[in-house]
Amino acid sequence: MYRRDFDRRGPPPDYGYDRRGPPPPDFGRGGFDDRRLGPPPPGYGGPPLDMPGPAVRSGVVAVHKEPAIDREKVCPLLLRVFPRLGAHHQLEDFARRGDEPKDEVQVYTWMDATLRELSDLVKEVQPAARRPMARISFAFIYPDRRGKNVMRQVGAVHATRLGEDDSKTLKQLNFQTGDFLSVAIY
């Protein structure tokens, strides 16, 4: 760029980082598939206290409850659940639409449904999930940016013991309508 071009057009754009080196770790966040990036980087305190979700101030964690969904007024969504004994289904089983595994269970539920609620529904159709020592693992299957299916583990629930994943909701886990739910029963 010639000096006279600089004078006429102004300074070059500031991209927020030195373009000769690698981009900063948070570069590119804010795209289509942000929900799949996983947990925030260490040191991130979360949203401000007036926003939903947990926040950290002075080392104290303040947990904000999501507003409850009125299940009488809000229409439920169709959740396609694929339970299997011993392991999750393979991604190849979902490669072609309409050719999914035959052991599908269709559930109508809401975004505030917890993994514990979903495990109770699985127990109704899978006797092995009712065993006292059973562990039920959940994973979302969804297409990535290239259209290829991806599996993401989202939590596990024990049949008789309470755990930290029991109260996680579909909304908190960034479920989107159209995702499949693979359920492995161990």
Let me know if residue 125 belongs to a domain: yes
Q: Is 43 exposed, middle or buried (0-12, 13-18, 19+ CB in 10 A)?
A: exposed
Bridge partners (DSSP) listed for residue 183: 83, 138
Let me know if residue 10 belongs to a domain: no
- Residue 134 reports pLDDT greater than 80: yes
Q: What is the DSSP letter of 75?
A: P
**Using CA atoms, how far apart are residues 138 and 135, in angstroms rounded to an integer?**
10
Q: What local confidence, expressed as pLDDT, does residue 96 receive?
A: 87
The three-point CA angle 100-90-159 to 5° equals 95
pTM value > 0.75: no
Give the confidence band of 97 by pLDDT, cuts at 50, 70, 90: confident
Let me know if residue 60 belongs to a domain: no
Asked if 179 contacts 86 with a C-beta cutoff of 8 angstroms, the reply is: no
Let me know if residue 53 belongs to a domain: no
Q: What is the pLDDT of residues 6-61, one digit of tens each?
A: 455 555 555 555 555 565 565 555 545 555 556 666 665 555 555 555 555 555 55
Let me know if residue 34 belongs to a domain: no
Q: What local confidence, expressed as pLDDT, does residue 67 receive?
A: 75
Q: What is the pLDDT of residues 135-152, one digit of tens each?
A: 999 999 999 999 899 999
Let me know if residue 164 belongs to a domain: yes
Give the residue numbers spanning the domain of 91.
77-185
CATH number of the domain that residue 151 is part of? 3.10.20.550
Greater pLDDT, 9 or 157: 157
Give the confidence band of 160 by pLDDT, cuts at 50, 70, 90: confident
Q: What local confidence, expressed as pLDDT, does residue 10 receive?
A: 56
**Using CA atoms, how far apart are residues 156 and 136, in angstroms rounded to an integer?**
5
Q: What is the pLDDT of residues 61-95, one digit of tens each?
A: 555 566 778 888 999 999 999 999 999 999 999 98
**Among 68-72, 97-101, 127-131, 156-160, whose mean pLDDT is lowest?**
68-72
Q: What local confidence, expressed as pLDDT, does residue 129 receive?
A: 94
State how many domains the chain has.
1
Let me know if residue 150 belongs to a domain: yes
Greater pLDDT, 183 or 48: 183
Q: How many Å separate Cα 102 from the centre of its chain?
A: 24
Proportion of the chain above pLDDT 90, given as a percent: 56
